[in-house]
Structure 1
Amino acid sequence: MTSSSTPTNPGALVVPPGSALNPMVALATSVHASPRVYALLLGAGVSMGAGIKTGWGVVEDLVRRAAVADDPGSDTAGEDAAQDPQAWWDAHETGPLGYSALLAALGKTPAARQALLSGYFDADPDDADDKRPGASHRAIAELVRRGSIGVIITTNFDRLTERALEEAGITPQIIHRPEDYASAAPLQHRAVTVIKVHGDYLDYESLNTDEELSTYPGEQADFLDRVFDEYGLIICGWSADWDRALVRAISGIRSRRYPMFWSQYGTAGAEARSLAARHNAAVITGATADEFFPDLVRRLDALDKLAEVPPTREMAVAQLKRSLADPVRRIELHDLVTQATDLVISRATPDNYPLHGDVFEQNATGYRRDADTLLHLLAAGAFHDDGTYDALWVRTVQGLVRLRQTLPASHNGDLESLRHYPALLAAWTMGVAAVAAGREEFVGTILTRPVFKSPLRQETEEAAIFLNSWDVLPKNSLDRFCVPGPQQKWKYPASHYLRQETTEVLRSIEPDDAAVAAAYDRFEFLASLFACDSAAPRRRGMPWPGQYLFEDRWGEDDHGLFAEISADADLRARLAPVFRNITIDEALTQLADWRRRYHNDF
């Protein structure tokens, strides 16, 4: 690797260990600010969760097998030896017991040692969960896929990291033989390079014994020296107890360009503590590899969202339409709508929308402005969807409903009710869009599934009740600014205001103003039927007062909206399953009776 391959990033973030911040914060921000500047160093602990034994686990099992072979007549020899491997070793061999010493004693040649080890790394073909990539391997593959990591150094013989990369559609460059180092492509030219410093378990040349692990061939040593000099290091699952050559390679780097982070689950040994202190490493404790790497991915994803420039309204709608047509992009669709919803929720604070003073018009205008992109997404979604994403649309309204979950100690009643205006705008926009698309049954979905329990009342209400424009947009407050002219008032100001504030949104799906007006009337009529059906005692039988009640729209006898809906057998059949407390005929009767009694009073 030439000097031109050195990663350069002037924005690399170095947070010294000992900072009051959680070291995971320093790690995530460093990796996010400096993609492909850090290399991973993985030890046996990374594969434990996938059923691969650690070096000591292999020692215990090999001692058990050796004890059985040594005393085949005993039924307990193997288990007794595994309980105290050191005692068994002391009774049969000289020198300290260790992974390297045991392998050297049992396998006199590399081929023999390879045969001994293969059973610890080959998956059982009859067990779908045996020795498969685990959570740590999949998260590592995600770090590579997202462009955060480009070099992985591992002491492990298993192939789980490579398999996880391949399952993620990534073809790694793998270096696992001494001759590979000279012929390897420059690291910056490959998506990821996996350096298996001890070889692969199927290699006869894999390094196992203490003697083999004490030095590296010249080209391998030089290659690792360059990597450790040019890259920051994230260590996980490696104890530093056995790998003398690797410890020496890391120790030899006196001036690190980028910091070292070391994740340790258990108690660190003397060698690890010394190495971490030498390089002023930020030590992260208490997390397994299966916890550490997924946590790092989550933190990077969160930083991505923070750095993302929100798409323009037009771009967001175009993205939504593409996602609606492609089932594979359902998560992208969910994230797009959720991001727009979260923006509205994050803005809807008492600081931005006071609950005191003469600010009703100001607050209403602000809520509508904040919700603009979301409303365009919901209009397009409800119009073009075939019901596949109904749960997402309901969840969106429910999320906005929660803006009134708590009741401020001191507030103006009309301003407090207005906190449901974003939810009303969302339900109204989707309901009208669905009517325009001929999906009137969706109106029942969006007005019966979202629920709200007011801190002031015990009963739980459906959206057809608590989002009634009569409550959310009180007439007295609207009459102060939503007027047709001096000394004049609208008959149904909330209906007029909602149409005024959403016409531009709905024109994006239906450019014919007459068709939009008809959809408004039909939606308000249907919303009123569902309000009549509600079991909630408050406002029971109270329709959504609106322009559909005017004579020229309501009609008489065999013409007009009332007669049209009453006679539409197909519509009634689609709406019937939504009604739970009364029939459609009873709801129609209640609505007609209310109009006869109260329409002239508004």
Structure 2
Amino acid sequence: MKPIHSRRLIQVVKDLQKTSDQRICFILGAGASVTSGIPSGGKLAREWLQEILEVEGEEGELWTQEHKITEENAPTHYPELFERRFRDSRQNGFEFLNQTMLNKKPSAGYAFLAEILASTRHNVVITTNFDSLTELALYQYTDKQPLVVGHESLAGFARANTQRPLISKIHGSLFLDMANEPDKTDKLAKSWQQALSALFHDRLVIVVGYGGNDGSLMSVLQNLTDYSQLFWCEMQGVDPNPEVIELLETQQGKWVSITGFDELMFDLQQALGLKFREQEIEGMHRNWLS
């Protein structure tokens, strides 16, 4: 499978805006937060692998060999590496993640996304991230208050017909129990599976920054057949993992090559006919009018 240029996705969105009342659903992974200063899951996984090998020595080498974990495929083993690295103190692991995300500010891309969520019918985000960047951007750049669903017991509130921006945190958040170990990321609770099935129904799904390395959300995507179109965005020069390629081939989805999350969200906002509010983005790290 070969990637398509992001311009083709933008054209699809423009056509949708003119000729259809169909909705877009966004799936965000850790890669979407890199320009906000939060390291990607792949980067953390590789760091944990090196720390395991340095601290555990031969025992660590035997463990990585047994699980067939290498520097190259470490991102696909993120849950196992987190569990191993912090096996002596789960609390230290969660505190590490908390400090990693503490006081981070939304990048320009989140400002553009917030405008889309607040001003159009495309108001649903499903994320595996623990951070609060999407909701912070909504509070900062719009007058809309999002509905944030961050625990499986609340999944029933993640309804497809909501008029408010909806942020569904399927692995939890910093303020609730975070699902970061294999036994929690391999399978979603039934309540989440049902909610996601309704949210994906007949929607154009755009995936950004999500590697497909957990079994939970990937399992839902593999088993659903009623979303309209699936566009999986990866950075230029980065290939999706084999499971993602198989998913796209099965679902007749598209692999989209992008230059970055911020750039894509800017283009999508423009495609949807939203006014670019320069004064509200002023002071961010990049001049988006240059």
State how 1:428-577 maps to structure 2 within 5 Å. none
- Is contact 1:157-1:196 (8 Å) kept? yes
Q: Paired residue for 2:36?
A: 50
- 2:97 is paired with a residue whose SS is helix
Query: In structure 1, what is the equivalent of residue 102 of structure 2?
Result: 122
Provide closer, same or farther for how the CA distance between residues 50 and 35 of structure 1 changes in structure 2, counting only shifts above 3 A: farther
Deviation per CA, 1:516-565: give whole Å up to 9, x if none: xxxxxxxxxxxxxxxxxxxxxxxxxxxxxxxxxxxxxxxxxxxxxxxxxx
**Aligned match of 1:105:** 84
Where do 1:74-473 residues align within 5 Å? 89-90=60-61, 93=64, 94-97=66-69, 98-108=77-87, 111-123=91-103, 131-167=104-140, 168-182=142-156, 184=157, 186-203=159-176, 205-240=177-212, 242-256=213-227, 258-265=228-235, 266-301=238-273
- Whether the 8 Å contact between 1:24 and 1:284 is mirrored in structure 2 is no
**1:12-37 deviations in whole A, cap 9, x for unaligned?**
xxxxx989x83321123224544671
Once the two structures are superposed, what CA deviation does each residue of 1:280-302 show, in whole Å capped at 9, x if it has no partner? Answer: 22332132111111011112227
In 2 relative to 1, CA 95–166 (structure 1 residues): closer, same or farther, beyond 3 Å? same
Equivalent AA in structure 1 for residue 78 of structure 2:
Y
Given that 2:147 and 2:167 are in contact with CA atoms closer than 8 Å, whether structure 1 keeps it comes out as yes
| Counterpart in the other structure of 1:360 | none
Residue 92 of structure 1 deviates from its aligned partner by 5.9
Q: Which residue identity does 1:142 align to in structure 2?
A: E
Q: Distance in 1 between matches of 2:146 and 2:266?
A: 20
CA contact (8 A) 1:172 1:190 kept: no
* CA distance in structure 2 between the partners assigned to 1:66 and 1:32 by the alignment: 53
Would the alpha carbon gap of residues 106 and 132 (structure 1) be closer, same or farther in structure 2, given more than 3 Å must change?
A: same
AA matched with 1:247: M
Q: Where is the helix percentage greater, Structure 1 or Structure 2?
A: 1
Q: Hey, what's the Cα distance between the residues in 2 that align with 1:231 and 1:164?
A: 23
Q: Which amino acid aligns with 2:125?
A: I
* Cα distance between partner residues in 2 of 1:248 and 1:171: 31
Q: Which amino acid aligns with 2:102?
A: D
- Per the alignment, in what secondary structure is the counterpart of residue 211 of structure 1? helix
* Alignment check: 8 A CA contact 1:144 1:150 kept: yes
Structure 1: how far apart are the matches of 2:178 and 2:119? 31
| Aligned 8 A contact 2:159 2:199 in 1 | no
CA 1:232 to 1:177, structure 2 compared with 1: closer, same or farther past 3 Å?
same
Measure, in 2, the Cα distance between the counterparts of 1:228 and 1:286: 23
Matched to 2:232, the amino acid is W
The alpha-carbon distance between structure 1 residues 60 and 229, as it changes in their structure 2 partners (threshold 3 A), is same
Structure 2 stretches lacking a partner, 5+ long: 70-76, 281-290
Give the distance between the partners of 1:32 and 1:144, measured in 2 at CA: 18
Amino acid at match of 1:276: L
**Cα displacement string for residues 31-87 of structure 1 (whole angstroms, at most 9, x for unaligned residues):** 45446711101111111111111112112333455567x39xxxxxxxxx9xxxxx9
CA–CA distance in structure 1, aligned partners of residues 31 and 94 of structure 2: 21
Shift of 1:180: 0.8
Alignment root-mean-square deviation, CA: 3.1
Distance, in Å, in 2 between the alignment partners of 1:166 and 1:249 is 30
- Give secondary structure in 1 for the equivalent of 2:44: helix
Can you list the C-alpha shifts for 1:247-287, whole angstroms capped at 9, x where unaligned? 1101111243x222222212222111111122222332132
Percent of counterpart pairs with the same letter? 19
SS of the residue aligned with 2:161? Answer: helix
Q: 2 CA distance for matches of 1:214 and 1:28?
A: 36
Q: 1:156: Cα distance to partner?
A: 0.9
The CA deviation at 1:198 is: 0.9
Q: 1:34 to 1:207 in 2, by over 3 A?
A: farther
**2: CA distance between counterparts of 1:122 and 1:28?**
36
| Partner SS for 1:208 | coil
The answer (yes or no) to whether the contact 1:41–1:153 under 8 Å persists in 2 is yes
Aligned residue pairs: how many?
Answer: 263
The 3 A distance-change label for structure 1 pair 136 and 92 is same
Distance 1:38 1:286 in 2: 18
Query: Unpaired runs of 5+ in structure 1?
Result: 1-16, 72-80, 82-86, 124-130, 305-327, 332-602
SS at match of 1:169: coil
**Alignment partners' CA distance in 1, 2:78 and 2:162:** 36
Instruction: Tell me: CA distance 1:35–1:173, structure 2 relative to 1, closer, same or farther (3 Å).
Output: farther
Per the alignment, residue 39 of structure 1 pairs with: 25
Q: Calculate the TM-score normalised by the size of structure 1.
A: 0.40
Task: Label 1:31 to 1:66 Cα distance change in 2 as closer, same or farther (>3 A).
Answer: farther
Question: What one-letter code is carried by the residue in structure 2 that aligns with 1:122?
Answer: L
Give how far 1:181 is off: 1.1
State how far apart, in whole Å, the 2-side matches of 1:159 and 1:273 are: 29
Pair 1:270–1:213, CA change in 2 (3 A):
same
Name the aligned partner's letter for residue 273 of structure 1: I
Normalising to structure 2: TM-score of the pair? 0.79
